[in-house]
Amino acid sequence: MDLNYTPAEQAFRAEVRQWLAAHVPSEPLADFDSTREGFEAHREWERTLHRGGWGMVTWPIEYGGRGLDLIRWLIFEEEYYRAGAPLRVNQNGIFLLGPTLIEYGTPEQKARFLPAMASGDEIWAQAWSEPGAGSDLAGVRATAVRDGDDYVLSGHKIWSSRAVHADWAFGLFREPGSERHKGLSLVFFPLDAPGVTVRPIARLDGKPVFAELFLDAVRVPVSNRLGEEGQGWSVCMSTAGFERGLMLRSPARFQVAAAKLVALYRGRADGVEPEVRARVLQAWMDADAYALSIYATASRLMAGGAIGPETSTNKIFWSELDLDLHRTALAILGAEAELTGAAPDAAADIGDWLDGYVFSLAGPIYAGANEIQRNIIAERMLGMPR
């Protein structure tokens, strides 16, 4: 165990810091879910990152990455959040599908999809959930019917984040007549293909963050399938591993939020009930514990280990941490907590805490609801009976 950064890692941090200081937009970008302009501004930022070689630091160089290890990825993320850089509009692509493509994709698929993903030219949505298949994802009914060199996709997907403006989606489709985990394939389709209808769905704050997708005989080449035909479930579980386990929520996000929470508390400590102070400290400690745990996992994976049940423990921990961070902030703000950013008397950061709280409510639901993660921990990690 060596908990010191190597000189090379330190130099890398300095390089990232320097680049971000020169390139992060001085004004925050409009959010990418509310308007097309906000979305396109974020696409532009992805392009800027890519030009600098920072699109996806862990990917192989030939696909637009930097070929770096996971410790450097963590350092990059720490600097990224520290610099207040924009959220990644292409996170479904770069953090979820990308690593799966690198693992399961053919050389042609990697060459075709990864560079455009890293550059922000193609922004991805995840189309797994269906009205009848949420927690029970193996219940998907959308079909992929083989027709020569094409698949014909039909069905109804829902809750697809960012699909309103995104370019491509990846989804799970079944061979007609197949059951449960069998006969599923993971297939990509362009969201502007003939037969695709995208209907925005407003989140509880009114923003059109996700969408329903109606697929009516959408034709895509068979080469858009990732992994073997009928093996979509295991490919998709690998993506879910990245989502819950590592990539989707890097620790820096919560460490920066925890530091802001402490600053909020320091500024208003006088009027705050003593029990809130303990919650502030707990949130800070939990963010620290999350970072340590991810460093430990990253070290293990770099030494050839495989990602295991920690995907489920991580998912529970970061989603509950995010909730605690924001609930505690609202407790500090007291009566002002209900003010949105638009209120004339709202101090600069108040609206952000409220927005963050609203978003944190979704954490225990998406990426596999926490109840499901607890089942997985009990059955696969602790070996309890089904």
Partner 1 sequence: MDFRLTDEQQMLAEMVGQMLAENCSGADLRRLLESGESRDAARWEQIVGLGLPGTMAPETAGGSGLGAVEMALIATACGYAALPEPLVEHAGVAIPLLVAAGADLGEALSGATIAVGHPINPFVVDADSATALLLADADALHLLPRDAVSLTRQASIDPFRRLFRVHWRPSAETRIGAGLWDKALDHGVLFAAAQLLGLAQRAVDLSVAYASERQQFGKPIGSFQAIKHHLATAQVKVEFARPVLLAAAASASPVRISHAKIAATAAAEAATHAAVQVHGAMGYSWEVDVHFLLKRSLALGQAWGTPGFHRARVAEHVLSAPLGADRTFGLGAIEEIRSEAA
Ligand X SMILES: Cc1cc2nc3c(=O)[nH]c(=O)nc-3n(C[C@H](O)[C@H](O)[C@H](O)COP(=O)(O)OP(=O)(O)OC[C@H]3O[C@@H](n4cnc5c(N)ncnc54)[C@H](O)[C@@H]3O)c2cc1C
| Residues at the contact surface with ligand X, assessed by CB under 6 A | 126-129, 134-135, 159-161, 210, 362, 365-366, 368-369, 371-372
Instruction: Kindly report the number of other CB atoms within 10 A of residue 375's CB atom.
Output: 16
x/- string (CB under 8 A) for partner 1, residues 91-130?
Answer: ----------------------------------------
Q: Please give the radius of gyration of the chain, using alpha carbons only, rounded to the nearest integer.
A: 21
Figure out which of the listed residues 82, 112, 181, 327 binds partner 1, where binding follows CB under 8 A. Answer: 82
Closer Cβ to ligand X, 214 or 366, answer by number: 366
Give me the residue label for tokens 């705050």: 272
| Active-site position among 46, 79, 243, 310 | 243
SS (H, E, C) 50-99: HHCCCCECCCCHHHCECCCCHHHHHHHHHHHHHCCCCCCCCHHHHHHHHH
Figure out which of the listed residues 281, 346, 361, 362 binds partner 1, where binding follows CB under 8 A. Answer: 281
Q: Which does 316 bind (CB under 5 to 8 A by kind): ligand X, partner 1, none?
A: partner 1
Say whether residue 268 binds partner 1 (CB under 8 A).
no
C-beta of residue 186 within 8 angstroms of C-beta of residue 210 = no
Say whether residue 377 binds partner 1 (CB under 8 A).
yes
Give me 31's structure tokens: 């959010």
Residue 382 CB, nearest distance to partner 1 (Å)? 5
SS (H, E, C) 149-199: CEEEEEEEEEEEECCCCCCEEEEEEECCCCCCCCCEEEEEEECCCCCEEEE
Closest CA to 123 of 55, 199, 65: 55
Say whether residue 2 binds partner 1 (CB under 8 A).
yes
x/- string (CB under 8 A) for partner 1, residues 309-348?
Answer: -x--x--xx-------------------------------
Closer Cβ to partner 1, 79 or 243, answer by number: 79
Backbone φ, ψ for residue 180 (5° rounding): 50, -125
C-beta of residue 122 within 8 angstroms of C-beta of residue 167 = yes
Figure out which of the listed residues 30, 68, 71, 102 binds partner 1, where binding follows CB under 8 A. Answer: 71
Residues 6+ apart with CB under 8 A from 284: 258, 259, 261, 262
C-beta of residue 12 within 8 angstroms of C-beta of residue 69 = no
Q: Which does 369 bind (CB under 5 to 8 A by kind): ligand X, partner 1, none?
A: ligand X
Q: Which does 3 bind (CB under 5 to 8 A by kind): ligand X, partner 1, none?
A: partner 1
Say whether residue 251 binds partner 1 (CB under 8 A).
yes
Catalytic residue status for 275: no
Q: Which does 291 bind (CB under 5 to 8 A by kind): partner 1, ligand X, none?
A: partner 1
C-alpha distances in angstroms, 239 versus 30, 38, 128, 263, 383? Answer: 29, 27, 11, 36, 23
Q: Which does 366 bind (CB under 5 to 8 A by kind): partner 1, ligand X, none?
A: ligand X
Give the catalytic positions in this structure. 243
